Structure formats: structure tokens, C-alpha cells
Amino acid sequence: MKSVVSGLCALMLTAGVAAAAEDDPFAWLEEVDSPRAMAWVEAQNARARERLEGDPRYQTYLSEARAIFAAEDRIPIPRLRAGGVDNLWQDAERPHGVWRHASLASYRKASPQWRTLLDLDALAEAEGRNWFFHGATCLKPAQTRCLIALSDGGGDAVEFREFDAAEARFVDGGFRFAEGKQDVAWLDADTLIVGREWTPGEVTTSGYPYVLKTVRRDGTATEVFRGDPTDVSASAIVLRAEGGAVDGIIAARGLTFFESEFSLLTDAGPLKLPLPRRAAYQAYVDGRAVFTLQEPHEDFAAGALVGLPIGDFRRAPKAAKLELIFQPSERQAITETAETKGSLVVSILDEVKGAVDVWRRQDGRWAARRLPLPADASVALVSGSGKDETLFLITEGFLSPDALWLADAGAAAAQTVKTLPARFDPDGLEVQQFSATSTDGTRIPYFVVAKKGLKLDGSTPTLLYGYGGFEIAQTPAYRPELGKIWLERGGAYVLANIRGGGEFGPTWHQAALREKRQRAFDDFAAVAKDLIARKITSPRRLGIYGRSNGGVLTSVSMTQNPQLFNAVVIESPLIDMLRYHRLPAGASWIGEYGDPEVPEDRAFIAAYSAYQKLAPDADYPEPYITTNTRDDRVHPGHARKFAARLEALGKPYVYFENTFGGHANATDPELNAQRWARHYVYLTQKLMD
């Protein structure tokens, strides 16, 4: 199957290149592994290494970053399973990682007694593959029979293998699915429900599965749901009651990135759930399938958290009603949910500051209690137990190291069990929250982390970060490498909460969707101008950083407002927005950006697409452009072509491409340390020298 998928991808890329060749002289750089493209990459990397790794500060930065990413005293992130805790541990000696298990009592101690389940480095060496662990799906209630996801090189495509966690070994003759973008879930010990490429080419235009089948241990596969090739994807949600019994299966059909159709699978066929197209599944608690609504629906406003009684819906689909659980205010947003044995745990933002509420049904109504956690902190839900009310979560702030909390959701109680040691000196630093006014008068909040008593003379080297897309909120986070390498040396850091993100719920996101995208760029520029007006920094000392969708933001900011910045880090970016939909996975984001094949959409995309907007007579800041060859989410051709066009125009730039590693950039601690050392050498050269 792998050879078929690889051949299909090569065919897609070749066709796409041919379609663009007439008017794009750099379309050949979209051929990921072609000798010509890789020779170009090698030449660029040699120049970048000489410039960045040849800087005398590089080794110091690398040493500091390596000490952070490979530290032995970092918190081993826990995943509750089988009455204990799993963890994937990576360090300098084990870059691929060890999947291991400990009892909950042992984990709470300073030095847990770990039992190795799977040594990824040994597996990679034995099989000659670059294996990285992408999670385990384990059958409830025992959770000892698992499906392990293995990624060759760190990309999104994975291979699934059945694994016996009690015996710490792969199951001989067990379930196994070749590499691909796919989803699997257990129904019972001998049956799975799987979404994958069943026959060559049977994927959506975005490259994801749209056909779901049940697969029995004897190999029998029965189709239970079929979407459409023009969808984004189709996947299965298995609703499990206490004790592990299956209450139902929901087929989630992704119509666009943000629009879905949910159907309960029955013997008589799929029954569509009474939800708007913009809704997202969250959890299954007390017989209720829980969703967030990203648009108004019936009696509910956008952002509402609602539950649908599945039993009622199965018996009388037309009579079943949605129940309101929680309605956020205009300055609130739901960021995450988790489920325990009988509770729905909801993480929220209030003015971009985190809190966690535990919701339970009492006397036929939903009621909440707030967990006692630090104020003015970000909160991440880590892992909930389906067997009891146990829950792990993490709090952090710009200057506050990660703290791991163990909560009892039923009692609404929480206590700290582990704390990350401070990785940089916070003394003399402070966090302030300001707001800038965008072009349409909207107030855009942003955080500044800098020295107390900062001289307001524009001399402070400042790094401004933004994202502004996909309803992803940007919140205060403890960034050890930022603190050690940048803040300790006198730099300032700014986090901009621009529209397009999820800081204030779906309306904040939708305010910068599609034809409204320019608002995100205007918001970012407004924050930059506000920083300059306050004399926190100046264009000479101001740099920007963004990755993925943030690469759209930084590349457009560079072309629209080059006078505001002296450094631009563009990482794993989308840039050629007139062709993003033709590159693997790109078609799934048409709901976010628009469709360049539609003339009206093409017009508003072309108005900002940075690749086409590069001009020979403009004076741009020298950007640092970086990506990964094996990124199968955001195609490396975006970064490559942008650098090549800058070179053709005689404009300065620095380009570096990691030859393996997926979109997340976190597969290997050593490579991650090198990555950040290069980033900060460039920023030091541009903003501090």
C-alpha cells in the first residue's frame, strides 16, 4: 500500500506542477524529492549553516536549547491508561523515544518506577525505518489491547499495528494497516471501525479517507459509511458508556474544514443529528453526545456547548432536543473539553486567561463547579480517566513554569503533583497586557513580556508572534528556550491575539475568514504600530515570527508593511495562496481561506498572497525561511518558492530545510534544539547586533 500511496502523491505533485509551469518559473520546487529540487535545498542549507551555525553564538544557543529539550528533570507528560500512567520519553540518547508505563502511585513520586512498553529507537534500528510514536488507541475497559500509530519520519501519515500492552509486544498476526492518513477505533476485541484509502485513489481531494468500514479479525471488511471525494474527510466516533459498552457510532463527515455533518449509524442507515453545519464533537457524558456550536442554531448562540441524548434520538429522531450546557460570553471561549467517568470538564478563556469548570447533570439539569487553579494562567487538559473522576491538567504562564495538577473532577478538587524547574531567570521581568486599535476600530489585545522599568526609547529588541487562524487561541505559555536565549539577554516578547484565532470564540475566528482575511493582517500591523507608538521598540528592533498559518501572516506582513520590521521568521509556511489548494492537504483549508478556483475567491486571495506580491522595487527586511522536507501537512514548496523568487529579485534572505521531521517540529529533541538555536542566532543578528 505504501508504494501505491507514494505513487499517487507523486502523480498529484507532477500534475500540479504541470498546471502551474506556464506562469510559475519555480513550480519545479514543488517536486519534493526531485534531484534538482534537493540540490537546490542542499545549496541553500550550506549557505544557511555558514551564516547561522557559523556564528560564534550558535554553539552557546545550541547548548542552552539542548539542555532544555533533553533535560532529565522535565515533567513526563502522563496519559491515563489501564489504571496507571503512560508516557513517551525522549532524550539525547533516545531521540525516537521510549513508550513506558507506571502505576499512578509510583508516577506521583519524584522517581517513578517505569516499565518499558516499546523502545522506538530499537524498533527503528531493527526495521531500518525512522519510526516515531504518534499515539495509542486502546480498547476499553481493560485498555491493554492497543493500536499503535507509527510515523516514518514524523509526518501525519501513520502505520497502525496491534500491540499487547500487558505483554509489551506486538500481536502476532494482529491488526495491521499500512502507512497512510487514516483513523482507527475499537468496537470490540475482534472488530475495528476504520477510515482509510481502501483502494488506490479512494481519498478526498485533501488526501484523507471518506469511506468507513468495520474490519473483523478474520479480515472481513464491511462498508458502513461513505462520504464524497469532495469532502475533507470522514471518521468514526465511538460512543462508550461506563464499563466500555458501545452506545452508538457517529460518522463525522467533514464537508469543509469547519463544516461537518454528523450521523448516528443504525441498521436502517445513517440518521443525521440535529446540528448546524458548523459544529464540533467534544465528548460523550451521561448518555449525551456533547458538541460546540460555531454558529447560531435554534435557541442557541454561537459558541454554545450543547448535549444530545443519544437514547432519545435513537428512539425518536425528530423529537430529540439539544440541551444547553454552557453559553460563553462575548469575551469568553471554550478551548478544550475532557470526559471522566461522570463529568464533563471544560477549559475556558476569559479575557485570554484560563479557567476550568466541571459540569455534571444533577436533577435533570447541568451544573458546574470551578477547579481551584491559579488565576491569570493558561490551562491545558492533559488526560481524563473513563474509569473514575481522575484528571491531569497543566497550568503555565509566561514566567511561571508548567505545573502538573491531578484533579478529582467529581469533588472539584485539584493538587499539584509535579512542577517544571525554572529554565530561565524571571527576576526583573514582568508581563503586561495592552490593546491596539485595528483599522476598523476593533480592540486587539496583546501581551508584552519584558524587563521591568523598560526604557521607552524604542531600543528594545522585540519579537512579535501571531497566528490568527483556524479558531486556535494563543495564550500565555512558558517557553523555556525563549526565556533563556532571548529574554535573559534583554529581548522582549509580544503575543498578539489577532482575529482569526479562538481567543473570543467562533465570532473572533469568523471575523477574519475568507474574504475578511485582511483583518488579521491589519490587526497584526496595528499591534506592531502600537508597540512602536509606545516606544517599547522601533522598526529597527522589531521582528516577527509565525509558522504554518502564521507563515501566511508573516509573509504577508513582510510584503504589506516592510517598513515596520527588521526581522521575519517564516516557518513551515503557507505562502503561495493561489496554489495552496493544489498541494497535498491544502484543499482541506478552503473553508478557511477560500477557493482559488472560484473567480470571486481568487480575487480576494490574490490581493494578499505574498508569493505573487513580491515586487522588484520594494525594500524588504531579510527573512529567515525554514521548513521540513517530510512535512506532509504544509507542503515545503511554499517556503522553497518564496526563497527562490526573492533570490531572482536580488533580495536578501536566509533559507534552511530540515530533511526529515513532520509539521510539528517536535520529533527529535536534538533537531529541535538546533532549530531554535538557528532561529535565535538570526534574530540576534537582526535585532540585537
What is the secondary structure of 306-328 as a DSSP string? EEEEHHHHHH-TTT---EEEE--
Give the residue carrying C-alpha cell 507608538.
533
Q: Which of 162-166, 179-183, 664-668 has the lowest mean pLDDT?
A: 664-668
Q: How confident is the model at residue 665 (pLDDT cuts 50, 70, 90)?
A: low
CB-side exposure of 58: number of CA atoms within 13 Å?
A: 14
For position 666, what pLDDT does the model report? 62
Instruction: Quickly state the pLDDT bin for 662 (edges 50, 70, 90).
Output: low
Whether 679 is catalytic is no
pLDDT at 2: 35
Q: What pLDDT does 15 receive?
A: 36
CB 581 within 8 A of CB 588: no
Among 419, 395, 418, smallest CA distance to 104 is for 418
The predicted structure's pLDDT at residue 155: 86
Q: Does the pLDDT of residue 12 top 50, yes or no?
A: no
The interaxial angle of helices 35-48 and 637-648, nearest 10 deg, is 70
Cβ atoms < 10 Å from Cβ of 39: 10
Query: Looking at residues 352-365, what average pLDDT do you find?
Result: 94
- Rounded to an integer, what distance in angstroms lies between the CA atom of residue 33 and that of residue 179? 19
Catalytic residue chosen out of the listed positions 96, 101, 638, 663:
663
pLDDT band with cut points at 50, 70 and 90 for residue 585: confident
pLDDT in tens, 462-500: 999 999 999 999 999 999 999 999 999 999 999 999 999
Which among 548, 557, 588, 609 is annotated as catalytic?
548
pLDDT at 6: 34
Is 663 known to be catalytic?
yes
- Which residues neighbour 131 within 8 Å (Cβ) at sequence distance 6 or greater? 96, 120, 123, 124, 150, 151, 152
Least confident range from 12-16, 144-148, 345-349, 503-507: namely 12-16
Give yes or no for residue 21 having a pLDDT over 60. Answer: no
pLDDT-above-90 percentage for the chain: 91
β-strands 462-465, 492-496 pairing: parallel
- Look up the pTM and report it: 0.91
